[in-house]
Chain A
Amino acid sequence: MSQRFRAGSGFVIAAMLSGLATMSVAGQSRATAKAYTAPRTPDGQPDLQGIWTNNTFTPLERPKGVTKEFYTREEALEVIKRATLVESEQTEPGTVADVHYDFTQFGLDRSQETMALNLRTSLIVDPPAGRLPPLSVEGQRRAADRAAARKARGGTHDAVQNEPLGARCILMDRNGPPMLAGAYNNGYQIMQAPGYVMILTEMLHDARIIPLDGRPHLPANVRQWTGSYRGRWEGQTLVVETTNLTDKFAFQGASENMRLIERFTRTAEDTILYRFTVEDPATWTSPWSAEVPWKRTTGPIFEHACHEGNYGLYNTLAGARAEEKKAAGEAEKKETSK
């Protein structure tokens, strides 16, 4: 068992070191970032088109014990190296976490994908502490209400509706909007046409077709998983405003009235700086912003038709029913033997 881990680690280190050679440092120099002017599309928009990845080991919130905004290059490389090793040896044999296929075999660990070297210690840039602002009183109450409602619905595997949205192939927390990286399938494709920008998210294969013509948002009673999104250009930056989200999807515990502002700025031939701001006084005491570089990567993006092959959901529910039957049988046996 331990041999397989060693084999995996060896490869991962090699892959990581070869990958680092091509990494560019992102996020630490805004002055440099502004010097780049993106080429234009035929209709005159700054060109964001291509296939990108937001793959990163940088956590949303600054880890406890880290007090600075940026690592040195050496520290950042050390963080990546250690995180890569942990990820390649992510499970302890014989533990519940081991009940999984090996991510490294399928190229699903972060070290096998393009990654921008981000010196930031957290994706959150505001508040400056790099952590989510405190919950407002209303936010705390809603969190408690939601927890109580979840409990009242019963166990996760009691009914298909109780399974997480991701397991049901509806939406992953990180798909957003806003868009954040997970361990794998962190690809995005941007296409531009006169009056529109399209952003395809690899994970679960959502496409946001964002109008740029200044039309109003959808009526307030129309709620969508990915909300109502409207874009505009502010100089070199694409600004996308999203509202009309649903209470069924609560990004980081947000309310359905969360307002999201995303900013896409091409800062180099192979880099887009993605910054987003969350405004939701019903949840947090102040707005908060995060920033993550997107790096150009290779395509094409394969369709992630999640539900078509989601046998896992059936197996999970079947497993839960089998366990219940077994438990009921044992209880009955116990009763009879009394």
Chain B
Amino acid sequence: MRMRRAVVGVAAGVLLAAAPVMAHHAFSAEFDINKPIKLRGTLTKWEMINPHSWFHFDVKGADGKVASWMIEGGSPNQLIKLGVTKNTLAVGTEMIIEGYQAKDGTNKGVGRNLVLANGQRLFLGGSVNQLTDIKPGAK
């Protein structure tokens, strides 16, 4: 009973303490909430750079034509601590990207959710070590 009261007591504090994580710039200014995208692409380059990494994909359209897309992701610093390196994600890896397109209408977007062809979310869930076992392109 005492424990329950304590938990209620801290609840107000938690709400304030847990304000959303802020990136270093406003993503809603860069990307358009009204342009959600879902792409299936093949990784052609991963710029593991700061302040945000950029994934380059070849995306085949309904007409069979291939378009190049750039997708923004997180800064590499923490990934490196978790053991992810430039070689963790191989060129040729097929991925599904859910996100939002750039406001200027070019083939750029934010990768809200990056999923590998086998359904596994990129890097997530302590998947760093598992990821090294995945053969690029394998089902």
Contacts and interface: CB of A to CB of B under 8 A. Distances in A.
A110 to B, nearest CB: 8
A154 to B, nearest CB: 14
A4 B113 contact: yes
Contacts of B33: 94-96, 98-99
B113 A102 contact: yes
Contact of B51 (A14, A91, A310): A310
Given A83-B18, A301-B77, A310-B51, A121 B13 contact: yes
Contacts of A58: 17
Contacts of B106: 318
B22 to A, nearest CB: 7
Nearest to B72: A101
A185 interface: yes
B64 interface: no
A75 B17 contact: no
B21 interface: yes
Interface in A149-174: 156-157, 163-164, 166-167, 169, 172
Given A298-B81, A315-B108, A318-B102, A64 B30 contact: no
Nearest to B78: A107
Interface in B75-117: 75-82, 84, 99-100, 102-106, 108, 110-114
Nearest to A72: B6
A233 B132 CA distance: 47
A104 interface: yes
A308 B29 CA distance: 20
Nearest to A173: B22
Contact of A78 (B10, B30, B47, B70): B10
Given A65-B12, A74-B6, A172-B24, A105 B73 contact: yes
A280 interface: no
A184 to B, nearest CB: 6
B82 A112 contact: yes
Contacts of B47: 309
B67 interface: no
Contacts of A297: 81
Contact of A184 (B31, B78, B80, B104): B78
B103 A79 contact: no
Nearest to B108: A315
A320 B29 contact: yes
* Interface size, A (range): 35 or more
Q: Is the interface of A mostly helix, strand, loop or mixed?
A: loop
Contacts of A179: none
B124 A105 contact: yes
Contact of A101 (B20, B102, B105, B112): B112
Interface string A173-202: 000000000111101000000000000001
Nearest to A313: B25
Contacts of B17: 57-59, 63, 79, 83
B14 interface: yes
B20 A90 contact: yes
A211 interface: no
Contacts of A270: none
Nearest to A121: B13
A107 B30 contact: no
7 contacts: A66-B10, A96-B33, A99-B110, A106-B75, A298-B81, A309-B47, A310-B51
Interface of B: 3, 6-7, 9-18, 20-33, 47, 49-54, 70, 72-82, 84, 99-100, 102-106, 108, 110-114, 121-126
Given A78-B6, A315-B103, 7 more contacts: A83-B17, A106-B123, A112-B78, A202-B77, A306-B50, A315-B31, A320-B103
Interface of A: 4, 7-8, 10-11, 14-15, 57-59, 62-66, 71-72, 74-75, 78-79, 82-83, 86-87, 90-91, 94-109, 112-113, 121, 156-157, 163-164, 166-167, 169, 172, 182-185, 187, 202, 297-306, 308-313, 315-316, 318-323
